[in-house]
Structure formats: structure tokens, C-alpha cells
Amino acid sequence: MTTTTCSLEHDPISLDLFAADARPDLADLYLAGQAESLRRHLGAAAPRPPTLAGAHVVLARGRGGGALGGIRVHPRGPAAPLPVELALGDRCPIRAAIDRAPAPVVEACGTWLAETSRGGELAAALALASIAVARALGARRIVGCAHQHALALYRRFGAVVDPDLGVHPWPDPRYRTCVFWVDPSTCPPGQAAIDACLAGLRRADPPPIGRAA
């Protein structure tokens, strides 16, 4: 995996795309940022940190290397159930649905943003980068789950909710989480689309100017 960089007028933002097993230092940054995000939203109910073995990670970093957000992509294997199977397997027939999907199937999950990065296009850039990773892995389908506050983001890139798999109060009763599918072949080409999202980043405070490097 490679590193893509976009320089903004005020802060450079880099997207690091890497195999978690090969870059434990960056994987730890991702996990620390996700843990903080989960604590912010779920408090004491925040789940344990995920296992990143075999995962590919997209990590956004700002000036000085601080983590601004991330997402990860998990390939499915015979002995490697996807995180969504572990999360929702006792609530809906997700395993059977994945078995029926065109293989290879990967999962995009674990999206988080630092408090200072919310409200702009960084989440879109991360989602697009995860699609680029899925394509690089040869995936024919991406599966994921999203609650009511995040679903619109994935729908921008072709996500289709699976009505047969229901809506679930997960990870806690405040959320209505559903399963979605994405065909990576129908999404915008990776690099140009990622650059466009990064160049369009907007901050809460003016002046909101960005430029792709």
C-alpha cells in the first residue's frame, strides 16, 4: 500500500494506506484514535479495540503526524469472519448473505474522525480510499454496517441497504444500524476522487480553502 498526500493552505493532510501487520506503529495510531472516538460516543459502553490482523487501514494524519481519522478494510477468508459477522451474526443471517455475495468480499468498517475533523469532506475521502483498497484487493463486493447518522456518507458512493438483514439497536439502543453493500466497480476511480475530496475539505472556521498537491 502507498501514501497519498494532499496539502491544504493551513495544514497538510496525508492518507496512509497500509497493511496493519506491516505497520504496527501506524496501526496503533489508528486504534488509539478509534478508541477515543468510541469513548466520546459510547462512554463506558465502548467495545474493546478490534483485531487488525489481516486488515488494511487508511489513516488520515495532519501536521506533525497526528491522527485525524481512519477506516479499515478486512478481507474475508475461510478462517477469518468479518467484523460485521461477529457484531450482527446473532441478530440477522449476515453470514449466509455474505456467502451468497459475489466473492471476494471485503468489509469497510471502523470509520472514525477526530473531534477537530468532523463536518468536512475527510470522511468522504476515507470512504473513497477504502473503496480503492477494496479494488486493489480484487474485491467484487464491499459489505459494511452503518447507523442512521452515518448511512448518508456511504450512500454517496453507491451503498445499498440490505432490507432482508433488518435494522438493529447496535452498538447500543440509541443507534439504528443496518447492513449495506457496495459494488466497487461502480464507484469513482480511486485517486482522482480521493484528491477531489481532500481538496474540498472545509473547516468550521474560515478561511475554508484547499488545494490538491
pLDDT over threshold 70, residue 204: no
Q: Residue 111 phi/psi, 5° resolution?
A: -70, 135
The residue-averaged pLDDT of 178-188 equals 89
Nearest Cα to 23, choosing from 59, 76, 47, 50? Answer: 59
CATH topology of domain 3-199: Aminopeptidase (3.40.630)
**Among 19-33, 41-55, 113-127, 156-170, which is the least confidently predicted range?**
41-55
The residue-averaged pLDDT of 103-131 equals 88
Residue 22 CB burial class (10 angstroms; 0-12, 13-18, ≥19) = exposed
Share of the chain above pLDDT 90, in %: 56
- Average pLDDT over the chain reads 83
pLDDT over threshold 50, residue 147: yes
Distance CA 209, CA 105 (A): 37
Residue 12 pLDDT: 76
Query: Model-level pTM?
Result: 0.84
Confidence of residue 5 (pLDDT cuts 50, 70, 90): very low
Secondary structure of residue 206 in the 3-state scheme: coil
| Locus of grid cell 506533525 | 64
Domain extents in the chain: 3-199
* Strands 141-146, 105-113: pairing kind: parallel
